[in-house]
């Protein structure tokens, strides 16, 4: 369907272009320096967790269920930390290793271990010739960077409104033994905000991979990050596996990065007993035990899943108005022009924006010229290659509401100007 610019007469379009150029010039002279590029909590959000810093002092009891947090030991993490992590993702504590402060770090180490040592007694991935990973796209750029770094071929898979296109996933996974994994963000996906439907979760659990060392990397980074209404329900992937009679298929990851302090939270991995035993052995060669002081602070502060949900409700109070502003500004600025669509998620950290074909790189660069930094166009695709150059990831959490409002005004003008320029170029 043609958009509003494409429908204009030549003289209407040139008048629009002149007007939008003027609007862009008036924004340029403001010398703005705004950032909507990365999914960071705002300073107000991280401040919510500052009281955690007061909970451990030099006279604190550092015992957790008989484990001394101030010494080596408990390589799978403090008992209370494992219990909290397990409750948040709905598994048994014995199926969780809490380790380190970054889930991405864990994902990297799991890929690295498979690459150098193999999974389940199979040859290491590095000794199997060219191998592939499936990358639902748009997706999380840092996932794709991990596998690309090991020379694993990242293969894009279309994302739908209920999760990845499972017909495509099934064909690759069940017919091609060089496919070793898939990156998934099953709840409030980065960047689409999509939560996988039960049907998609069940389809994952029913996969019959051609490769015995294929694994699903289930990054449940936004499991508790609802900011609107009741939030989305995600089926528990391990329940789906039990239903399907499948084992040794999923590594699930999560962290408190965007619950407490990014970079200083606690991260965990859950998997089948056999897969977890293999990871335990791999981790034991990397460190004696994880950072249990930080784990202790987290469990004393957050306590249990109810405590986490109460804390996330306070994050939601700060985040929800920002996401509402994105919807309001985009609807008001672009709603009637038929040149763009965008997601309206109930949680997570992003809005995924689709502009006209061939527009995204130019919008990002024009916005930068006007003082607004956006995630580089194409970043949510393997190798940074958005085949249609349409997608832009909007990260509204970090700026203040005033800054965000200005940044969105700039974004809207940039989208309109680039869309008008494209419409004019089509006629030239």
CB of 104 to ligand PMP, least distance (A): 3
Binding site for ligand PMP (CB under 6 A): 39, 102-105, 140, 185, 190, 219, 221, 255, 257, 262, 267
CB of 230 to ligand PMP, least distance (A): 22
360 contact partners, CB below 8 Å, separation of at least 6: 377, 378, 386, 389, 390, 391, 392
Measure the CA–CA gap between 81 and 78, rounded to whole angstroms.
5
CB of 225 to ligand PMP, least distance (A): 10
Orientation of helix 141-149 relative to helix 103-117, angle to 10° = 30
User: Which CB atom, from 219 or from 386, has the smaller least distance to ligand PMP?
Assistant: 219
Within a 10 A sphere around the Cβ of 14, how many other Cβ atoms? 13
CB of 233 to ligand PMP, least distance (A): 19
Query: Which token pair is 19?
Result: 């007007």
CB of 46 to ligand PMP, least distance (A): 13
For the chain, what is the radius of gyration of the CA atoms? Answer: 23
* Residues linked to residue 218 through DSSP beta bridges, in sequence order: 184, 252
CB of 141 to ligand PMP, least distance (A): 9
User: Which CB atom, from 216 or from 370, has the smaller least distance to ligand PMP?
Assistant: 216
Measure the CA–CA gap between 111 and 130, rounded to whole angstroms.
15
Q: Is the dihedral of CA 126, 127, 129, 135 positive or negative?
A: negative
Bond before 239 cis per omega within 30 degrees? no
User: Which CB atom, from 20 or from 223, has the smaller least distance to ligand PMP?
Assistant: 223
CB of 145 to ligand PMP, least distance (A): 12
User: Which CB atom, from 138 or from 355, has the smaller least distance to ligand PMP?
Assistant: 138
User: Which CB atom, from 144 or from 172, has the smaller least distance to ligand PMP?
Assistant: 144
CB of 189 to ligand PMP, least distance (A): 8
Measure the CA–CA gap between 216 and 418, rounded to whole angstroms.
39
User: 279 and 113 in contact (C-beta within 8 Å)?
Assistant: yes
Measure the CA–CA gap between 209 and 212, rounded to whole angstroms.
7
Kind and range of the H or E run holding 94: none
Query: 423: number of CA atoms within 13 Å, CB side?
Result: 26
User: Which CB atom, from 345 or from 371, has the smaller least distance to ligand PMP?
Assistant: 345
Taking alpha carbons only, the member of 263, 240, 278 closest to residue 97 is: 278
User: Which CB atom, from 180 or from 258, has the smaller least distance to ligand PMP?
Assistant: 258
User: Which CB atom, from 89 or from 337, has the smaller least distance to ligand PMP?
Assistant: 89
């Amino acid at each position: 369907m043609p958009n509003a610019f494409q429908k204009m007469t030549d003289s209407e379009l040139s008048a629009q272009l002149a007007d939008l150029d003027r609007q862009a010039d008036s924004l340029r002279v403001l010398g703005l320096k705004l950032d909507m590029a990365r999914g960071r909590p705002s300073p107000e959000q991280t401040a919510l967790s500052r009281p955690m810093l007061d909970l451990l002092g030099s006279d604190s009891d550092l015992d957790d269920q008989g484990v001394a947090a101030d010494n080596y030991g408990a390589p799978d993490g403090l008992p209370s930390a494992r219990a909290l992590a397990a409750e948040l993702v709905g598994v048994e504590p014995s199926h969780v290793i809490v380790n380190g402060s970054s889930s991405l770090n864990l994902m990297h180490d799991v890929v690295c271990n498979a690459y150098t040592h193999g999974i389940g007694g199979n040859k290491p991935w590095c000794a199997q010739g060219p191998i592939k990973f499936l990358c639902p796209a748009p997706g999380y750029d840092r996932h794709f960077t991990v596998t690309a770094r090991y020379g694993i071929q990242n293969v894009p898979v279309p994302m739908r409104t209920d999760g990845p296109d499972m017909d495509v996933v099934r064909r690759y996974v069940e017919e091609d033994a060089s496919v070793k994994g898939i990156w998934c963000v099953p709840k409030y996906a980065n960047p689409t905000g999509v939560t996988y439907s039960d049907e998609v979760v069940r389809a994952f659990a029913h996969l019959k991979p051609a490769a015995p060392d294929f694994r699903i990397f289930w990054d449940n980074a936004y499991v508790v990050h609802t900011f609107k209404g009741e939030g989305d329900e995600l089926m528990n992937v391990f329940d789906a596996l039990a239903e399907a009679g499948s084992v040794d298929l999923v590594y699930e990851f999560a962290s408190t990065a965007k619950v407490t302090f990014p970079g200083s939270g606690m991260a965990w991995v859950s998997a089948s007993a056999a897969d977890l035993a293999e990871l335990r052995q791999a981790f034991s060669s990397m460190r004696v035990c994880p950072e249990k002081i930080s784990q202790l602070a987290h469990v004393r502060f957050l306590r249990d899943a109810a405590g986490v949900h109460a804390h996330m409700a306070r994050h939601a109070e700060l985040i929800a108005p920002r996401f509402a502003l994105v919807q309001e500004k985009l609807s008001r600025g672009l709603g009637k022009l038929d040149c763009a669509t965008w997601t309206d998620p109930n949680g997570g950290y992003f809005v995924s924006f689709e502009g006209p074909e061939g527009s995204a790189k130019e919008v990002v660069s024009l916005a930068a010229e006007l003082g607004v930094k956006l995630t580089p166009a194409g970043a949510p695709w393997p190798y940074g290659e958005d085949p249609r150059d349409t997608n832009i990831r909007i990260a509204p959490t970090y700026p203040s509401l005033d800054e965000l409002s200005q940044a969105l005004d700039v974004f809207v003008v940039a989208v309109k100007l680039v869309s008008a320029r494209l419409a004019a170029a089509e006629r030239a």
